[in-house]
């Protein structure tokens, strides 16, 4: 069973990962975006960890909803609303339970990913965070490690795609040959599950 502590560890591990990879995320964003994806997410996840240190929600759902609200209020551009929606909707789907199963987490993350697709209008193959998140959710039922591998594979697979959504889509064919920063940061979020679980 996964309790509130697990979800706090997940958010803390994700924040540490974004911290480590911020420069790479911004470098990926430079040719096809605003060159601020890493710094924006870094600011957002730092706010999440600072808030979780002050407030201690005692259910998994409440932790993710709090994290989502922080990201929406502190991250600029499209990333804030998209990441915020992902975590808030996942948290909402988990409800008020003090502990959840891995299957419940899988179902909740799927609800979160569906909400992101609705908000952003993106589908797999559009060269967005969805390209990492959809395969990750499909693999979550197997293990956190399988989900992390699927997300990473999905992120790398965005490189030859032409962007059809978001800022990168304005570049048309010039977006081909660049790995999508949103898919890359999404893979970091999923990989943080492995760290949180000690798998």
Nearest to 92 by CA among 76, 104, 108: 108
Round the average pLDDT of the chain to a whole number and report it: 95
The SS3 of residue 3 is: strand
| Terminal Cα distance for the chain, rounded | 14
Hey, what are 78's tokens?
């499209």
Give the pLDDT of residue 56: 81
Q: For residue 73, report the phi and psi dihedrals to the nearest 5 degrees.
A: -85, -15
CA 7 to chain centre: 14
Residue spans of alpha helices (H) in 55-180: 60-74, 79-94, 102-120, 130-140, 144-156
Q: What share of the chain has pLDDT > 70, as a percent?
A: 100
- Going by pLDDT thresholds of 50, 70 and 90, the confidence category of residue 78 is confident
Residues β-bridged to residue 3: 99
Give the pLDDT of residue 76: 78
Q: Over range 162-181, report the average pLDDT.
A: 91
At residue 171, does pLDDT exceed 90?
Answer: no
- Going by pLDDT thresholds of 50, 70 and 90, the confidence category of residue 18 is very high
Q: Are 18 and 25 spatial neighbours (Cβ–Cβ below 8 Å)?
A: yes
Hey, what are 186's tokens?
């999404």
Tens-digit pLDDT profile for residues 24-68:
999 999 998 888 999 999 999 999 999 999 988 999 999 999 999
Residue that is written with structure tokens 């730092």 in the block: 46
Q: Over range 80-102, report the average pLDDT.
A: 97
**Is 92 buried (19+), middle (13-18) or exposed (0-12) by CB count in 10 A?**
middle
Q: Which of 31-40, 42-51, 135-144, 148-157 has the lowest mean pLDDT?
A: 31-40
At residue 161, does pLDDT exceed 90?
Answer: yes
Non-local CB neighbours of 184 within 8 Å, separated by 6+ positions: 21, 24, 25, 28, 132, 155
Q: Are 72 and 81 spatial neighbours (Cβ–Cβ below 8 Å)?
A: yes
The SS3 of residue 2 is: strand
């Amino acid at each position: 069973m996964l309790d509130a502590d697990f979800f706090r560890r997940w958010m803390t591990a994700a924040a540490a990962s974004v911290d480590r990879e911020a420069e790479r995320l911004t470098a990926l964003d430079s040719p096809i975006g605003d060159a601020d994806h890493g710094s924006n997410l870094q600011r957002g996840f730092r706010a999440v960890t600072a808030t979780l240190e002050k407030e201690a929600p005692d259910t998994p759902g409440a932790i993710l909803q709090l994290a989502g609200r922080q990201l929406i209020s502190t991250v600029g551009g499209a990333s804030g609303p998209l990441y915020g929606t992902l975590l808030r909707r996942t948290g909402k789907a988990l409800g008020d339970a003090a502990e959840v199963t891995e299957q419940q987490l899988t179902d909740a993350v799927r609800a979160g990913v569906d909400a992101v697709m609705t908000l952003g209008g993106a589908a797999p193959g559009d060269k967005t965070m969805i390209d990492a998140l959809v395969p990750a959710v499909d693999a979550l039922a197997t293990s956190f490690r399988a989900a992390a591998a699927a997300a990473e594979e999905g992120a790398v697979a965005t490189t030859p795609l032409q962007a059809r959504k978001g800022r990168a889509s304005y570049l048309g064919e010039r977006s081909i040959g660049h790995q999508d920063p949103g898919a890359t940061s999404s893979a970091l979020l999923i990989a943080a599950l492995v760290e949180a679980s000690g798998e």
